[in-house]
Structure 1
Amino acid sequence: MKSSFKDIISGNDLVLVDFSAEWCGPCKVLGPILKEVKEEIGDKARIVKIDVDKNQGLATQFNVMGVPTLILFKNGTQVWRQSGVMQKQDLLSLLRENI
């Protein structure tokens, strides 16, 4: 069963959403960084990748103008967002501050 985006962001305490696209070079750089972050942070946060080309409605709803755009939700509320590639340590610090 496929969860709706609303269920995903409100059903978990902390959800980092990566709005990206297959054709986006920086998104390809960010992918392995997010994988490492997930390995280190474990179950304390969920990381979800959203393809803007396949989910244009969501991208519009959250005013995603460029990819990658990262948005952090805490209990369903947006608490942080940034466009562009971020380093692993910066992402880990951000997540730890919000856990």
Structure 2
Amino acid sequence: MPMNPHYALTEPLRDAVDSLSARWPVLVEFGAPWCPHCINAQPLLEQAFEDRHEQVQHIKVEDGKGQALGRSFKVKLWPTLIFLRDGAEVARLVRPTNAEDIRTALRRVDGD
């Protein structure tokens, strides 16, 4: 699956994310469309996804105060990228500043 450029209209439930990550590698991106750090991370994500991670399910979640999914992952800063495989977190990047860190985490979650 290619990079997802759009935030989900509704926040998925934690059980749904855990269930999906038991079947597929998942990247959950927490942020907000107006956040400058999140905006700056988008070209880095695009570059990292050029490596063709077809199996990775990319879920973009607009986070905010009181949002249950972000709190369940203990998200404090945006963007936070959480890489899940087999129902477990395998990598986490907070405010990434280069595409190579994202590529490395994608390879880990994708099994490369």
Matches of 2:66 and 2:17, distance apart in 1? 10
Unpaired runs of 5+ residues, structure 2, are 1-9
Contact between 1:27 and 1:85, CA under 8 Å: does it hold in 2? no
Matches of 1:96 and 1:55, distance apart in 2? 32
Instruction: Please give the residue correspondences for 1:33-44 in structure 2 after superposition, counting only pairs within 5 Å.
Output: 33-44=44-55
Matches of 1:24 and 1:74, distance apart in 2? 27
Percent identity over the alignment is 28
TM-score, scaled relative to structure 1: 0.79
Show CA shifts across 1:43-62 (max 9, x none): 14232211103981101111
Unpaired runs of 5+ residues, structure 1, are none
Q: Does 1:5 align with 2:20?
A: no
Matches of 2:65 and 2:23, distance apart in 1? 23
Contact between 2:79 and 2:95, CA under 8 Å: does it hold in 1? yes
Matches of 1:82 and 1:42, distance apart in 2? 17
Matches of 2:17 and 2:93, distance apart in 1? 19
Matches of 2:77 and 2:57, distance apart in 1? 22
Closer, same or farther in 2 for the Cα pair 1:75/1:86, shift >3 Å?
A: farther
Instruction: Please give the residue correspondences for 1:12-91 in structure 2 after superposition, counting only pairs within 5 Å.
Output: 12=24, 14-53=25-64, 56-91=67-102
More helix by share: 1
Matches of 2:28 and 2:95, distance apart in 1? 13
Aligned length in residues: 97
TM-score, scaled relative to structure 2: 0.71
Q: Report the alpha carbon displacement of residue 9 of structure 1 after superposing the two structures with TM.
A: 2.4
